[in-house]
Structure 1
């Protein structure tokens, strides 16, 4: 196999960063046609298409994303070489890009990623948003996996894999009050106010069904789609909060909150969502298998 032409790689890197052939050509002081020829030569050398056109914009293919990662590593290594010769220090690091839905427990995210914490050879990139936003980034190869509390349907067009990582029970928690009578579920929810996850939550739908069957209309203080906010409200509001204990594990340990009722019919599931790829990030499989082994 012929040696890789690093000039071609630099041209590709410029186009990938700009997302536009004309702007990249201007920055590289080349004609658009000349730059296009250089890109074509790189694709022929690698044997893969690196870009697709979407609405007049160049979008990286899966292979293109991999080539970009390596190109950035190569150019970063060149910068580190110069830095090493000047300061005597350099590093070489892998990258793992993780997306997380906003409704997911931050404590669970931390526990999941904990095996990677402290690794000096790894750069961990974490993004948050709606499940739709995270899946779009996964599809665009800008994320390696997505953490979610809901599985994603798999079909011929979207080859998602929803890896079940854990199932955890759900409880009602509250601030401790001395001398208070034991909480009776669901009867006490006729008078005790409650903070709930939003209607988009899987556990909320099941909880509403339990109360409906018991003919109880709860006094809802707040509905929250962010677990970090749910945790804060549990600490500050009167009444009870419906939440997986992992979300408030620090407050339960310190006694700031107490678990007043375990709801045995409710469980929250946690998934790692990946996509079928020819060149997956090897760190993803390692992490998922490690976490599954601990469940």
Structure 2
């Protein structure tokens, strides 16, 4: 039996409104009539498209897939009416969340294989770990980028993909940093711009300083890589960062890197949710980023 596109349009309207009563009023239909139309679509597709949580309607995983297709279908219809040509291709959506403090250079490097595709629209959101995990759990995000693994939650089927691991360096302006000086000397007489204490990189740095019996001067504790990069450029102190964060400054000579490395590594993760209907773009992107050298 062919798909009834009237049913699909009603579902599309409710999915975007998030409220059955409001959509029924807007479409000048009774709420019961609208419910029947959506129920018939669910029976045709063989899957529930919504689940009710209190007074709110939330898309199921099948509902999210159906909405992606409905968006493409009705967008194509609008393009047909507007252009009467076949030159515009339907674009697929990839919803990516990234930790607000994550390096922008890293994000661009990871997404680069797909950003140039004319058939893909990348929707990028930033947020806290809690916000990102909630977005993944409600299927509003297909993929989350973080520099820490998600909390161990046996109730949520997260899949954690380690996509890159990079050595952390000590960087600073040429006026402040002599690249040939040993780390112990730098720790003893230079102020440092460091990640906050909840970072695994900071924990490793503090342990290194303790082993050397040195108590470094902390100029700033920063949880935002963009701010750390700016402070290093402004010569506030030496920064403990992965080179990818400051790759443009290192290339231009605005910042230099200590030759002795602190032997600390930062790991980057892509986190997905185990889904019955995964977004095929996610697997494509993960496979293209399987080589850590892609981020250098």
1:3 to 2:2 alignment: yes
- Corresponding residue SS for 1:107: helix
Separation in structure 1 between the aligned mates of residue 88 and residue 236 of structure 2, nearest angstrom: 53
Mapping for residues 73-92 of structure 1, pairs under 5 Å: 73-85=72-84, 89-92=87-90
Q: Which residue number in structure 1 is paired with residue 66 of structure 2?
A: 67
- Corresponding residue SS for 1:265: coil
Q: Which residue number in structure 1 is paired with residue 33 of structure 2?
A: 34
Mapping for residues 1-295 of structure 1, pairs under 5 Å: 2-85=1-84, 89-177=87-175, 180=178, 182-293=180-291, 295=293
- Corresponding residue SS for 2:118: coil
Q: How many residues align?
A: 293
User: 2:192 touches 2:218 (CA, 8 Å); kept in 1?
Assistant: yes
Shift of the alpha carbon at 1:69? 0.8
Separation in structure 2 between the aligned mates of residue 189 and residue 278 of structure 1, nearest angstrom: 51
User: 1:174 touches 1:234 (CA, 8 Å); kept in 2?
Assistant: yes
User: 2:176 touches 2:235 (CA, 8 Å); kept in 1?
Assistant: no
User: 2:168 touches 2:262 (CA, 8 Å); kept in 1?
Assistant: yes
Separation in structure 2 between the aligned mates of residue 105 and residue 287 of structure 1, nearest angstrom: 18
Change (3 A) 1:210 1:230: same
- Corresponding residue SS for 1:263: coil
- Corresponding residue SS for 2:183: coil
Which runs of 5 or more residues in structure 2 are unaligned?
none
**What's the Cα RMSD here?**
1.8
Q: 1:197-252 CA deviation, whole Å, 9 max, x = no partner?
A: 12232211111122233332221111111111111111002431111111001100
Separation in structure 1 between the aligned mates of residue 237 and residue 6 of structure 2, nearest angstrom: 65
Shift of the alpha carbon at 1:55? 2.5
Shift of the alpha carbon at 1:181? 7.9
User: 1:83 touches 1:90 (CA, 8 Å); kept in 2?
Assistant: no
Separation in structure 2 between the aligned mates of residue 179 and residue 224 of structure 1, nearest angstrom: 20
Which runs of 5 or more residues in structure 1 are unaligned?
none
Give the structure-2-normalised TM-score.
0.93
Change (3 A) 1:269 1:210: same
Shift of the alpha carbon at 1:261? 4.6
Change (3 A) 1:179 1:219: closer
